[in-house]
Amino acid sequence: MKKILAILLALTMVVSLGAVAFADDVSELPREETLYFAGQQWGTVNTWNPIGTNQNNAMACTNQTFGSRTLMFETLYMYDFMTGNILPLLAGGDYTWSDDMTQLSFSLNPAAKWSDGTPVTAADVVRTWDISVEVGNSVGIGYGAYIDSVEADGDLGVVINAALNEAGQPINPLKVLDFLVGGFIAQAAWIDTVVERNGGDAIGILNDAADDVVWSGPYTKYFSDDQKVVLIRDDNYWGQDASLWGKLPVPKYIAHTIYADNPAGEIALKAGEVDVCQQFIGNIQNLWLEDDLPISTYYEEAPYGVCLTMPTAWYNMNLPVLAENTALRKAIALAVDYDTIIANAMTNQSPSFGEVPRSLMNPTAGEQALFDHDAVADLQWAGNDIDGANALLDEAGLVDTDGDGWREYNGEKISLNACCPNGWTDWQASMEVVAAAGDKIGVEITTLYPEWDIYQTVFTNPNQTEYAIYMWSPDSAAPSDPWGRVNQFMGKDFVGAENNWSGNWGQYVNEEADALIKQIPLTTDEAALIDLYTQLTEIYLTEVPSFSLMYRPSVFHAVNESVWTNFPAGDDGRGIPPADCTDGYGIAALYELELVG
Amino acid sequence: MKHTLRQVFHSSKFLVGFIIFLLILLTIWIYPFFNPGNPLEMIGVGTFARPGSYVSLYDALNTSTETLRLADADDKRLDKLLSDTDRISMLDWFDSAGVDVGDLDIEDTDTLLDLWFANYSSDLKPAGMTNAKRNYYKRLNNSLMQVRAADTLTITDVDEATGDPVTKGTVTKTDYVNIGQVANVKRLPLGTDNFGRDVLKELVSATGTSIIIGLIAGVVATLIGLTLGLLAGYVGGLADDIIMFITNIFTVIPSFVLLILISYSIGQEQRGASVVAIVIGFTSWTWTARSVRSQVISLRNRDHVNLSKLSGHSLVRIIATDILPYIASYVVMAFILQVSSGILSEAQLSLLGLGPKTTVTPTLGLMMNWAMLYSAHTNGSWWAYFPVILTITLISFSLNLMNTGLDQVFNPTLRD
C-alpha cells in the first residue's frame, strides 16, 4: 500500500513539474520575437469564433467601426481614420458604387488564401453575410437594416445590394461602407461545419468555441488561459504576396498578459514588459521627462494621441425640469470648467474647447472641415462662464425665490445628479467638476457613481428618471462618421428603443434636426453637406440636448521602445495611424517594426 | 474626581497622547483662520502640483527688480539646462550621426554647443535610434537654445488698435524680485491633489471630519455596547441569554464584512459622513457589550449593590449610581479605542469606494481613495497620500497612547 502511495506521489510530482515546465515554455517566449500588449484583453478568452458573439477575445475578434482588429480574421477593407481612406485588404482594389448608390461592387484579391490553402472567394463573403443575418451577430444586427443582400459575381466579384426605402433610394450608403471595414469574413466551408455541428441552432452557432476555425490573417492562436493570450505568426500568410504587404509582419508572437487592472498594465509598461499599451495613463509625459523611460506616444507634445471621440454628458429629457428648460441645459454647460476637466481628468491629453471649439465633430481635420466655423462661432462656448450662466437662468425666470441659495423651478428646488460608473476615474473627475459648476450657479448637482452593472441597465433604459446628467461616449470614427455621431446626438430613431446602446441616450426629440440628419447619407455634394452639418451644429449648440466634456482617443497608443522600435509617430511621414499596431490600417505598423540596436 | 484626574495626568503616556491629540485639534481649529475658504475648491488646473511656493510670473514681471550679481548664477542656470548625462548623450548623438568629434572635452560647453548646433537637425533620423530617444534630443536641443539665448528677454504686448507688438520691458539675467513684494505668492506646503485642491487645507478639514466620524461612531458603539452589557449583566436570566445570543451572532460575523454590506446597500446618495459614522458604530459595539457584561456580573453581588436592592431602589438608579461609576474608567478607555477604530474604518471603507459620498466633505479616507485612483503611489506624488497616512497614524497613536496611559492608572495589576 505504501509503495503504491509513494509511486502515486512521485507521479503527481512528475506531472506537476511537467505542467510547470510547459507553462514556463509559454511564459518565456523569445523576447526579441514577441510584441507584448496591454489594455485590450481583460479576463479569459471565451471563443475564437469570427461569426459569434461575446467572444471576449480582444486580439482576434474585435469588430470596431474605426478599424477592426485584423490579426487573425480579416475584413474586406482597412479604414485609416487619419485620412478617412478605405484601403483594400481582402479586396483586390477599390470599390465602385452604382450611379444611384444602390449597389456597391468590388473584386477580391486573387492572392487571398485561407489558412488551409484554399482561396478566399466571393462565396465566402456571401455565406458570411447570410449567416450573420441568420444568427443575428453584431454584423448582422448592425448592418442588416442597410444591406439587403450580398451576391457573388463570378469567383471573385462581390456585389452588395443596399437596402432601399419606399422611394427606392438606399437607406444609408455610409453604413454599407462601415460593413466593408468592420465585418470579418469567414470561410464558407467552415461556416457549414459549424452550422452542421450545432444543428442550425443560432445560439449554438453564436457561442461555438471555434477551435477548428479557418483564418485568413497573419496570426493565429497559439496559447490562451486566464493569464495570457498568445498569437503566433502564420508564415504561410497570403498577405506576403506583392499585391498586399509583400512581406510578413515582423514579430513572430503577439502576446497579451491579462492584467488585473490599469495600474498593473501601467507598471508592466514602465518595466518594459509591455511594448504597446492601450490604456489611459495620466501625466504620461512624466514617464519620459521624469522617469527617463524609453516610452513615447504618437505625438511628442500634448495631446500625445489622436482624439476621435468626445465623452459627453447627456441630459435626461424624461425629467421635465431638463426637458422644459433649454436655459438650464445651456447654463450648466456654460458654467462647467472644461479646462479643469481636460487638465485633471485627461491630464491635457485632449485639445481644449478653446483650441477646438465645440461642435458635433471630433478634432480631426477631415471632420472639422465639414461645417462652417464662422456661422456657429457665436453659439460655441469654452466654459467656466459663471456670469453668462447666471444671466441665462435669471432671464429664464429660474431664480432662487425662497432664499436658500438654490434656484427653483415651479416652486421646487432644482436638484440634479451627475452620474458615471464607479471606478471610471477620469469620468468621475469630470462629474465632480460638473457638480462644482452647479454649486456656482445655484443649481444643486450631486455626483453619483453606481457600479457598472447597475449603471449600464439604467442609462440604456429609455424611460429611466434616476439619472439626470450622465456620461457616455458617442461613436469615434468610421466611414459613416460624422453622420453616425450626429445621429447619436439628435437622431429620433433611437428614442424609446429598449436596451439602447446605439445612441441618443438623453431621449432628445427634434423633428427638424432629425429631418436634416436623414438627408445626409444621400447627399454627395460637398457644399450641401457642409450646409446640412452647419444647420445641425446650430441646432445642437442652441438646444444643448447634451454637452461634450473633452476629446479623447479611441485607442491609446503608448509604446515602450526597450525591445521594439519604429512604431508609428506623428512626424515620421509614413501615414500609419496610431491604432495600436493592430486596428484597421494601423496594422501596417507590424510590418515595419525593428528591433532596438 | 480631582484626585483621579491628577493621577491620569501624571501618566506620561496619557499626557503625550493627550498633547498630540490636542495639537491636532488646535490645528483643525486655528488653521482655517490663516487659510480660509472651501477646502474642496479646485485651485490648480491639473493634477498633483508639487509642494512649494508658487510665484505669479505675471505679477513678478510687474514687480520692481533689484540687480544681483551672483557668481554662481550662470553655472546653476547651465546645470539646470544641461546636465552631465545630457553631455554624454550629446556625444552618443554625434556618434550615431557619424560626426567626428576628435578629442572633444565634454566639459567645454562652448565647443560642445558649437558642434551641436552645427550638426544637429531634428529631421535627421540616425539608424536604430528610438523615437523616445529622438524626442529626448529634440527637448535637449530646445534647452540648449536657451543656453545660447541672449542675456536679455524682451516682454512684448500687442497693441489693440494696430495689432503690432509693443515692447513693454526687458528682463535680464541679473534681475531679481523680492518674493514678499510680488502680489500673488501661493504657498502650497503639501502641493495639490488630483483635482488641483490644496492638500494641506483639505487635510486639515478632512482630519476634522474624520475625528467627528470617529466620535460619532465611538458614541454610537459605546452607547449600544454599554446599554446591552449593563442590561445583560445586571438583569441576567433570559434577558442575558437573549442579549448574549444577539451579541454572539454579531461577534462571529466579521464586522468589516458587515460594514461593507451595509454601506453598499445604503447606496452612495444616502451615504453622508454622519451616516457612515453611524453605520460604523452599529457594527463595532460587540466587544464593549461583552466586557461590560462580565464586569457587571462581578459587581452585581457586591454588598453595596445588594444594599441598594434591599432599599428598594429602581433598576435605573442602581445601575446609574452603584454600577456605572465602577466601570466608568473601562468605558472611557473602550470609547477611546472605538473612536480610533472608527477613524480607521472610515479610511478602509473609503479606500474601497464605499465611504461618504464625494464633493460634499473631505475625509481622510476619501483623500486616500482619490490618490489611489489617480495612481499617486506609482507616479511619485507622495504628498497626496503620505501626509494622510501620517495623520491617521498620529491620531490613532495618540488615542491608543491615552488608552494605555489610562489602563496603567486604573488597572491595579499594571500600576507601578
Taking the C-alpha atoms of residue B169 and residue A535, their distance in angstroms, rounded to an integer, is 47
CATH 3.10.105.10 is right for the domain spanning A312-548:
yes
Q: Is B102's pLDDT higher than 80? A: no
Q: Cβ contacts (< 8 Å) between A288 and chain B: which residues? A: 132, 135-136
Contact between residue B185 and residue B42 where contact means Cβ atoms under 8 Å apart: no
- Looking at residue A112, its pLDDT comes to 93
Q: Cβ contacts (< 8 Å) between A569 and chain B: which residues? A: 131
* Interface contact A347, partner B, CB < 8 A: yes
- Looking at residue A14, its pLDDT comes to 59
Closest to A280 measured CA to CA, from A546, A478, A556, A51:
A556
Give the whole-number percent of chain B exceeding pLDDT 70.
Answer: 98
- Name the E strands within B21-62: 52-55
- Looking at residue A15, its pLDDT comes to 58
Q: What is the pTM of this model?
A: 0.82
Chain A residue with Cα closest to B375 = A263
* Interface contact A581, partner B, CB < 8 A: no
Chain A residue with Cα closest to B377 = A263
Average pLDDT over all residues of chain B: 87
Contact between residue A423 and residue B370 where contact means Cβ atoms under 8 Å apart: no
* Interface contact B378, partner A, CB < 8 A: yes
Taking the C-alpha atoms of residue B203 and residue B51, their distance in angstroms, rounded to an integer, is 14
Set out the domains of chain B in order of their start, with CATH numbers: 2-41+194-414 (1.10.3720.10), 56-184 (no CATH)
A422·B353 Cβ contact <8 A: yes
- Looking at residue A425, its pLDDT comes to 77
Provide ipTM, 2 decimals: 0.77
- Looking at residue A24, its pLDDT comes to 47
Class of domain A48-214 (CATH, top level): alpha beta
Q: Is B409's pLDDT higher than 60? A: yes
Strand partners, B166: B157
Residue B154, number of CB atoms within 10 A of its CB: 11
Q: Is B339's pLDDT higher than 90? A: yes
- Looking at residue A361, its pLDDT comes to 92
Q: Average pLDDT of B334-345?
A: 91
B128·A594 Cβ contact <8 A: yes
Identify which of B132, B360, B378 has the shortest CB distance to residue A295: B132
Q: Is B325's pLDDT higher than 60? A: yes
- Residue type for position B83: S
Intervals of chain A under pLDDT 50: 20-24
Q: What is the DSSP letter of A570?
A: T
Q: Is B338's pLDDT higher than 80? A: yes
Can you tell me whether residue A149 is helix, strand or coil?
strand
Measure in Å the smallest separation between the Cα of A490 and chain B Cα atoms.
30
Measure in Å the smallest separation between the Cα of B133 and chain A Cα atoms.
7
Give the pairing type, strands A103-107 and A96-97.
Answer: antiparallel
Residues B56-92: tens digit of each pLDDT: 998 998 888 888 888 888 888 888 888 888 888 888 8
Give the pairing type, strands A295-297 and A444-448.
Answer: unpaired
Largest CA distance in chain B: 110
* Interface contact B359, partner A, CB < 8 A: yes
The terminus-to-terminus CA distance of chain B in angstroms comes to 20
Count of H-run helices and E-run strands, chain A? 19, 26
- Looking at residue A35, its pLDDT comes to 94
* Interface contact B131, partner A, CB < 8 A: yes
Closest to A184 measured CA to CA, from A588, A583, A586:
A583
Measure in Å the smallest separation between the Cα of A211 and chain B Cα atoms.
39
Which CATH architecture fits A23-39+218-305+555-597? 3-Layer(aba) Sandwich (3.40)
Give the Å distances, CA to CA, from A573 to A67, A306, B121. Answer: 21, 15, 16
Measure in Å the smallest separation between the Cα of A596 and chain B Cα atoms.
6
Residues B227-239: tens digit of each pLDDT: 999 999 888 889 8
Q: What is the DSSP letter of A164?
A: B
- Looking at residue B328, its pLDDT comes to 87
Residues A180-189: tens digit of each pLDDT: 998 999 999 9
Domain boundaries, chain A: 23-39+218-305+555-597, 48-214, 312-548
Cis amide linkage into residue A303, ω under 30° from 0: yes
